[in-house]
A and B are shown apart, each in its own frame.
Chain A
Amino acid sequence: MKRNTTLLVLAATLFVTVIAGVAIGPVWIAPQKIVAILTNLVFPTNHTWSEAEAIIVYQIRLPRTFMALLVGSGLAVAGVAMQALFKNPLADPYVLGASSGAGFGAALIISFGLVSAVFVPPAAFAGAIFATFTVYALSMIGPKSSVSLLLLSGIALSTLFSALISFLMFLSGENLHQLVFWLMGGLWASRWEYVEITFPVVLVGTVIVYAYARDLNLMLSGEESAQHLGVAVESLKKILLVTVSFIVGVAVAFCGIIGFVGLIVPHVVRTFTGPDHKALIPASALFGGILLIWADIIARSAIPGSEVPVGIITALLGAPFFMYLVRSRRKNIF
């Protein structure tokens, strides 16, 4: 499939998915009503819907669907960047301890009972960036960072932060439930304020990663080869690590830890775009959004009257699918 056709198909699918994300739920809202409600925001028309329906669409499902879209896109793009940067098919946005760093920052705030859009995101950013740069510093050998040290340090730091998060949960008492639920990853708390913060972070992050698409292609032939072809390897690493930290920080801050999206989406998308990052990055952004919106639809419809954290859904669906992918396409993946 030609690159533009692929992107067009994905964009159309995303549009349908967004409508579905708003339509499906405990109360079904017909797509034409959704379109009418949204059109009404710009061109007021006759009400063909109830006030309750308007509130469900506008105040609940739309911000939630947008959050799923943004977080899914962001994690997928971050995953693409990490896999290329570390030349490792197992790399994902969380591999460098960014997620558990962000998780710890956010958990610290939540365990003090300060659940708000004002405090949690900065704490999560701070945690993500602190973790990423600690890992980066630990991996330095002379003027260069070693990829295997980077991954090992990432695992060590993740474990440390996970232990600290568990410790906070142990201490948190009445905030425990909230903390546990948040860590499992979910989109139920989504509000327009969250979207307003997440949107620019993910958009700018994706644009930055896309700007380095050519360099990421070169990185796939090895760090030294990339440098011989003119890539400033260490500064590329720093720029992308900061970018990924921001994306992960904002995602974790609002939605907890949603696993597997950043790992699988790049692999799935590569099977139809090939490894060229100029196609892979935009396609992954679209596909990541589609995937997380559907996962969230399942999360809120699977058990009537209740809601499963979306992180559980992505892992439940993602892990077996990933195993299938690894077995059936092992030659193309590795």
Chain B
Amino acid sequence: MTHLGDLLSALLDGELDSAGRRNAAVHLKECEPCRLELARVESARGALRGLPVLEAPPGLIPGARRRFLSPAWISAIAASVALVVGLVIGPGAPDATVQLDTLGDQHNARVVGDPGIATFRGDQP
């Protein structure tokens, strides 16, 4: 079963067409993990929506404009933000991935020597 993943946000944002919504509804009816994920996404969105709107102190914005709003400053800030975002959430160099079949073999080799639930299938020495 393929889970809805990013479609959940699109569903909440009303970005799915009617067929997409219908398919998502059918899937959600059957899929508990997606229902839970939908609840989490909606909860996070609700928390963001609930954040208070703060008034900027008088004079802050005009002052900032006077000092920073030259094209060179805008470029520098944009480049810095892009760099930080890239460093924090970018994929970076791939990490090593464990070889599951190798680990499975090692586990199986150890299990075979002991009695246990597999005994009830007869596959023990």
Q: Do A and B bind each other?
A: no
**B residues bordering A, Cβ < 8 Å?**
none
